[in-house]
Amino acid sequence: MEKKIQEKLKKIKMLILDVDGVMTDGRIIMDGEGLETKNFNVRDGHGLVMIQRYGIQVAILTGRTSAVVDHRARDLKITEVYQGALNKKEIFAQILQKNNLTPEVIAYVGDDIVDIPVLKLAGFSAAVADAMDLVKKTVDYVTVNRGGQGAVREICEMLLMAQERWPEVANRYDFTDLIEL
């Protein structure tokens, strides 16, 4: 991990995620009744559980509104969920105020142009591998993995490593013999 990125990640207290294209692969499936389905990656979810266990808060900030997102958030014990956010920059400011945080301690992951205003403000910004090119030009880091296919887990592991929690994770899951600490 680059030193500059590691220094930014050390400061992070909250990870804010877009949903469609970040937590999912961007596809929205609707049945004949208009019921929506989204595909979430279980390893991404476990990454979010792990960072919360080590004190990093997680919030969801999405422009769309979907009951599926509420269900997934509850499943992952994410209590800060902001849906229907037409102006993500405004909601970002509200999140900061509500949690008494500054932009420097926020990591934000996005994929589309609606995310750019927040990506420019966050202390650490990331785009998923299949994000819009303009978004990729805006961020500190572009993930190796695509949205909904391990990108969130990648960021979670980077956070745990930068904040020197990876040895605890390795010990908890008994894989210390498989990594270089």
Domains of the chain: 1-8+41-110+145-173 (3.40.50.1000)
Q: Please name the residue that has the structure tokens 């591998």.
A: 129
What pLDDT tens digit does each residue of the chain (181 aa) get? 899 999 999 999 999 999 999 999 999 999 999 889 999 999 999 999 999 999 999 999 999 999 999 999 999 999 999 999 999 999 999 999 999 999 999 999 999 999 999 999 999 999 999 999 999 999 999 999 999 999 999 999 999 999 999 999 988 989 988 877 5
pTM: 0.96
Q: How far is CA 20 from CA 68, 87, 90, 92, 138, in A?
A: 11, 16, 19, 17, 19
* pLDDT score for 177: 82
Residues 6+ apart with CB under 8 A from 136: 127, 142
Q: 41 and 131 in contact (C-beta within 8 Å)?
A: no
Q: 35 and 51 in contact (C-beta within 8 Å)?
A: no
Closest CA to 9 of 104, 147, 77, 117: 104
The 8-class DSSP code of residue 110 comes to E
The H-assigned helical ranges of 60-115 are 67-75, 88-99
* pLDDT score for 181: 57
The helix-helix angle for 42-53 and 151-162 (nearest 10°) equals 20
